[in-house]
Amino acid sequence: MATEILMPALSPTMEEGTLAKWLVKEGDEVSSGDILAEIETDKATMEFEAVDEGTIGKILVEEGTEGVKVNSPIAVLLEEGESADDIDTAKSAPAEDKGEEAKPAEAKSSDDDREAPAEGKKQPEPDTSPDWPEGTEMKQQTVREALRDAMAEEMRRDENVFLMGEEVAEYQGAYKISQGLLDEFGAKRVIDTPITEHGFAGIGVGAAFGGLRPIVEFMTFNFAMQAMDQIINSAAKTLYMSGGQMGAPMVFRGPNGAAARVGAQHSQDYAAWFMQIPGLKVAMPYSASDYKGLMKTAIRDPNPVIFLENEILYGRSFDVPDIEDYTVPFGKARIWREGADVTIVSFGIGMTYALEAAEKLAEDGIEAEVIDLRTLRPMDTETVLKSVMKTNRCVTVEEGWPQGSVGGYISGEIMQEAFDYLDAPVITCTGKDVPMPYAANLEKHALVTTDEVIEAVRKVTYR
């Protein structure tokens, strides 16, 4: 089937350009990567490559043509066995060449000229389907075990999946997440790296560009700061900048946020940082079942995924469905507790404070609906908005800093989409606006607490 070759976007802001020169002619055979033409913009002249193989059947836009719109057809590529006679030129023929006279627009009455009243923005209905069928057998697993099983299952499923990072192989992981993987999959698929995050993250990105599916482990996401250029400028942006020709199907994973007395450089929460980046997906689960289901989804995703774990949660046990291939979709929040008085929104280890607060508030007759976002990009704001429209109040909970927080973003969404439903301002509970202290007593004060969540709920409920 003949394929249209479209005018490429050479920059995010490009809307049109000049087709300066064709480097092929009709009848030429081309392969992926061959240079087809030179495209000029007001900033630069760049070469345009073929993404498929075939024969140039017809050139639709002559060289030297200015003002060619991005994504408009400029040529037609034929597959083997096709001829130029097979090309449907109807798409590219201008309207005046069709031999049809344009019909004058029918006059409208004055009543027709009036605009219909504006309608409010309709929010899509959230996905409230259960994560597993009713009656599914459950088993107890730690977060550590759930993560290991998720990676092992995907490595068995797809030979292109491999794990790399510091101490993931011989030592079986700094936190024993990769326990047993080296024995099962060997040193070619479970790879110990030097202590150079910028280096091994770049190797992982290159492997993903080449069609493999790397899982890159950072011993802590604080060390990922050394690899920000690889993560943001290479992994996240290349799919867009290449016009969809090359992506990075990979996972960056490791512990994120505070642990216990490891100092400011090892305690930072990067959730809000990575959530901002187009091209990345960001998961930050709480329970073992979500760690397993989201990790499997992340490994299969064609985009780079930031998978933020928590060292404190690794040893905690949860119910996990005993299902052969259990996955959790991105962009679907989980309602852990239903309530009608206030909505508490959190993610990751913040769910610990949210659920503890909800339990204590229930003793005083305040029923909180507790929502676990699970993924921050994409974020299931539909579930949050529907809950707020019911409870009329919202408190967000996270360990990150207050300025530029995830809760601040959620608050903005609620203000724009559900302002008339609010009976009180949204309160964001966060960590304190200081580098994490090393001293245990000061570290405790720097983190968000259950009591702070309870106090926030009492403020918004006036109780």
Give catalytic residue positions: 197, 266
DSSP string, 181-208: HHHHH-TTTEEE--S-HHHHHHHHHHHH
Task: State the Cα–Cα distance between residues 143 and 284, nearest whole angstrom.
Answer: 12
Tokens describing residue 150: 């998720």
Task: State the Cα–Cα distance between residues 180 and 339, nearest whole angstrom.
Answer: 42
Residues 183, 187, 193, 194: is their CA dihedral positive or negative?
positive
What is residue 122's three-state secondary structure? coil
Tokens describing residue 360: 């204590």
CB 12 within 8 A of CB 238: no
Task: State the Cα–Cα distance between residues 285 and 350, nearest whole angstrom.
Answer: 10
Task: State the Cα–Cα distance between residues 296 and 340, nearest whole angstrom.
Answer: 34
Task: State the Cα–Cα distance between residues 55 and 298, nearest whole angstrom.
Answer: 38
Asked if the bond preceding 285 is cis, omega within 30° of 0, the reply is no
Using alpha carbons only, give the angle 70, 74, 78 rounded to the nearest 5 degrees. Answer: 130
Radius of gyration of the chain (CA): 27
Tokens describing residue 443: 């570290």
CB 122 within 8 A of CB 292: no
Alpha carbon of 316 to those of 166, 182, 356, 451: distances in Å? Answer: 24, 24, 15, 22
Residues 213, 218, 221, 223: is their CA dihedral positive or negative?
negative
Task: State the Cα–Cα distance between residues 182 and 295, nearest whole angstrom.
Answer: 19
H-run or E-run covering 164: strand 161-165
Sequence-ordered list of residues with C-beta below 8 angstroms from that of 134, at least 6 positions apart, any chain: none
- Which residue reads 């560009």 in tokens? 209
**Phi (first) and psi of residue 155, to 5 degrees:** -70, -30
- Which residue reads 């150079």 in tokens? 196
